[in-house]
């Protein structure tokens, strides 16, 4: 039996209000906005950005086997009568409509995850937990913004049991535009922290922006909230104002729906004892760190809210692994013998995620003669409190027993000045300068964490360390 396509040309036109040339009877098995990763049979959506215009790649993707191309004008060199062209007024707006149509037609139960930190990790925990309960699709990577969320929902298969969607923002009003497209049955807010505070008058305003998720939910939906966060009641009041009556909490406080009883935190993961909806559970997490433990409580509370098997979901969490850029661990062999441990946290950073990374570094034991080393880049979008928040990292670094700190960026100068002299590895302007310094300094037995905001470009430091000045290929990620 032939599988049904993801979209037919007629369905795409109906969802987006597109004009199709005569004879457009094709179908698409996927949706893509990137000519580099497009697969034959995909619908290509030609988005425009500040530094690119996807219309310039339409001829190339059609020649490479794209099923069709969504455009707002006929690109030069393309036949206007080509039946594979989907003409719309605005490709981004049309993608949003296609994502909404993908959400509307699915029979799946949908859970959406937002929060200042922990969104992607909780999304991945939910993916594993729900895969143990049926067919599941989760948004890839961090496809959580004004184009990523509708793209993810446009990719949802016709027949799937569960959908997990990450929802992000850095300005007020962004989630309000996305939530009605996602229309989740369950909405999770992992936590509220001073992230993107540059764009908000207060942390309370950040909580209000996260609560915009409830604008896409019906009264019979469920809000899953962090009882340990000081903004719990503010979030809960937003949910109640929307008419949402079922609010499930998670955390360490007695009586929470998903209650942490105990956690044995290890280098390679944690063993957790918890009670979820009155059921006592003991399960293993494959990723280390207390933040993963807390995120697992949020995930299991959401699984319970969806009516899925919580015990099976908890058992599945042993397979979680910290992804590249978000805590992935590697053992890097040195040419003279021995190795050092690299904890790759390079994807992004804020004060809360910095503290979480330091706690994992503290739990990771160096080898003989080794040191705990933090390689840190600026945390962006912190506004006026930025210098103070960078300087304040000195205390959790000391508590974590970090021996040496290498840092880059103008804001990290405030941390560097607060460090004891013995811990000052180096402070330079850019990550490119820092990469060579750290590569020369690392030695056998060291444990090295690399972390900074995406705009600080810490990934090249990871790349340099995995290759090393000695040119060795790193061992596979553990």
Q: Is residue 354 part of a domain?
A: yes
Which letter does DSSP use for residue 19 in this model? B
Q: Is residue 338 part of a domain?
A: yes
pLDDT at residue 337, rounded to an integer:
84
pLDDT in tens, the chain (478 residues): 457 899 999 999 999 999 888 888 999 999 999 999 999 999 999 999 888 899 999 999 999 999 999 999 999 989 999 999 999 999 999 999 999 999 999 999 999 999 999 999 999 999 999 999 999 999 998 899 999 999 999 999 999 999 999 999 999 999 999 999 999 999 999 999 999 999 999 999 999 999 999 999 999 999 999 999 999 999 999 999 999 999 999 999 999 999 999 999 999 999 999 999 999 999 999 999 999 999 999 999 999 999 999 999 999 999 999 988 999 999 999 887 899 999 999 999 999 999 999 999 999 999 999 999 999 999 999 999 999 999 999 999 999 999 999 999 999 999 999 999 999 999 999 999 999 999 999 999 999 999 999 999 999 999 999 985 543 433 333 2
H-only helix segments in 394-453: 394-399, 412-418, 431-441
DSSP labels for 324-368? TTTTEEEEEE-TTS-EEEEEEETT---HHHHHHHHHHHHHSPP-T
Q: Are 101 and 176 in contact (CB under 8 A)?
A: no
Residues 196, 303 within the same domain: yes
Residues 195, 245 within the same domain: yes
- Longest CA–CA span in the chain (Å) reads 74
- Long-range CB pairs of 206-210 (<8 Å, 24+ gap) are 206/116, 207/231, 207/234, 207/235, 208/172, 208/234, 208/238, 209/169, 209/171, 209/172, 209/173, 209/174, 209/175, 210/114, 210/115, 210/116, 210/169, 210/175, 210/235
Q: Which of 298, 319, 340 is the last residue of a domain?
A: 319
Residues 48, 183 within the same domain: no
Residues 291, 393 within the same domain: no
Residues 291, 332 within the same domain: no
Q: Is residue 472 part of a domain?
A: no
Residues 74, 55 within the same domain: yes
Residues 293, 332 within the same domain: no
Residues 340, 438 within the same domain: yes
Q: What is the pTM of this model?
A: 0.92
Residues 154, 248 within the same domain: yes
Neighbours of 267 (CB within 10 A): 13
* CATH number for the domain that contains residue 25: 3.40.1390.10
Q: Is residue 234 part of a domain?
A: yes
Q: Are 408 and 379 in contact (CB under 8 A)?
A: no
Q: Which of 97, 131, 151 is the last residue of a domain?
A: 97
H-only helix segments in 132-231: 148-154, 174-182, 203-210
Structural domain harbouring 23: 7-97
Q: Is residue 289 part of a domain?
A: yes
The first and second tokens of residue 3, run together, are 């599988």
The first and second tokens of residue 196, run together, are 């993107």
Q: Is residue 476 part of a domain?
A: no
Q: Are 222 and 183 in contact (CB under 8 A)?
A: no
Residues 72, 193 within the same domain: no
Q: Classify 327 in phi/psi space as left (phi over 0), alpha (psi -120 to 50) or beta.
A: left
By three-state DSSP, how is residue 34 classified? coil
Q: Are 374 and 416 in contact (CB under 8 A)?
A: no
* CATH number for the domain that contains residue 403: 3.90.190.20
Residues 427, 454 within the same domain: yes
Q: Is residue 78 part of a domain?
A: yes
Q: Are 204 and 234 in contact (CB under 8 A)?
A: yes
Q: Are 192 and 235 in contact (CB under 8 A)?
A: yes
C-alpha distances in Å from residue 192, one per residue of 90, 133, 206, 446:
34, 29, 7, 33
Residues 373, 405 within the same domain: yes
What is the distance between the alpha carbons of residues 33 and 152, in angstroms, rounded to a whole number?
11
Q: How far apart are the first and last CA of the chain?
A: 40
pLDDT at residue 142, rounded to an integer:
80
Q: Which of 42, 65, 97 is the last residue of a domain?
A: 97
Q: Is residue 477 part of a domain?
A: no
pLDDT at residue 476, rounded to an integer:
35
As for how many domains the chain has, the answer is 3
């Amino acid at each position: 039996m032939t599988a049904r396509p993801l979209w037919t040309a007629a369905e795409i036109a109906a969802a987006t209000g597109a004009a199709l040339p005569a004879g457009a009877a094709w179908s698409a098995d996927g949706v893509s906005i990137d000519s580099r990763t497009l697969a034959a049979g995909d619908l290509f959506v030609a988005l425009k950005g500040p530094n690119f215009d996807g219309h310039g790649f339409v001829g190339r993707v059609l020649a490479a086997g794209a099923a069709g191309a969504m455009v707002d004008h006929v690109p030069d060199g393309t036949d206007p009568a080509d039946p594979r062209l989907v003409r719309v007024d605005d490709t981004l707006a049309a993608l949003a409509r296609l994502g909404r149509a993908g959400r509307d037609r699915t029979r799946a139960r949908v859970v959406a995850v937002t929060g200042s930190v922990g969104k992607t990790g909780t999304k991945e925990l939910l993916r594993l937990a729900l895969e143990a309960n049926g067919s599941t699709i989760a948004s890839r990577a961090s496809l959580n913004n004004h184009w990523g969320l509708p793209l993810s929902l446009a990719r949802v298969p016709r027949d799937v049991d569960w959908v997990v969607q990450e929802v992000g923002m850095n300005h007020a009003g962004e989630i309000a535009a996305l939530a009605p497209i996602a229309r989740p049955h369950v909405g999770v807010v992992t936590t509220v922290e001073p992230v993107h505070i540059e764009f908000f008058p207060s942390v309370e305003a950040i909580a209000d922006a996260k609560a915009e998720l409830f604008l896409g939910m019906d009264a019979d939906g469920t809000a899953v909230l962090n009882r340990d966060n000081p903004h719990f009641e503010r979030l809960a009041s937003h949910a109640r104002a929307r008419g949402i009556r079922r609010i499930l909490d998670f955390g360490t406080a007695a009586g929470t729906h998903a209650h942490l009883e105990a956690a044995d935190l290890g280098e390679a993961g944690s063993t957790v004892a918890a009670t979820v909806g009155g059921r006592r559970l003991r399960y293993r997490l494959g990723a280390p760190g207390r933040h993963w433990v807390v995120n697992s409580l949020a995930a299991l509370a959401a699984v319970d809210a969806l009516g899925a098997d919580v015990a099976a979901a908890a058992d599945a969490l042993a397979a979680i692994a910290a992804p590249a850029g978000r805590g992935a661990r590697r053992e890097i062999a040195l040419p003279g013998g021995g190795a050092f441990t690299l904890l790759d946290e390079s994807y992004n950073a804020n004060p809360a995620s910095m503290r979480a990374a330091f706690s994992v570094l503290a739990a990771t034991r160096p080898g003989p003669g080794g040191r705990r080393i933090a390689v840190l880049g600026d945390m962006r979008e912190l506004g006026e409190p930025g210098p103070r928040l960078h300087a304040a990292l000195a205390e959790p670094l000391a508590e974590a027993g970090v021996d040496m700190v290498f840092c880059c960026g103008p804001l990290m100068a405030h941390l560097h000045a607060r460090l004891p002299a013995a811990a000052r590895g180096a402070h330079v302007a850019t990550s490119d300068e820092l990469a060579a310094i750290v590569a020369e300094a690392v030695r056998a037995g060291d444990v090295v964490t690399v972390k900074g905001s995406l705009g600080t470009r810490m990934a090249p430091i990871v790349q340099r360390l995995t290759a090393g000045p000695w040119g060795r290929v790193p061992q596979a990620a553990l």
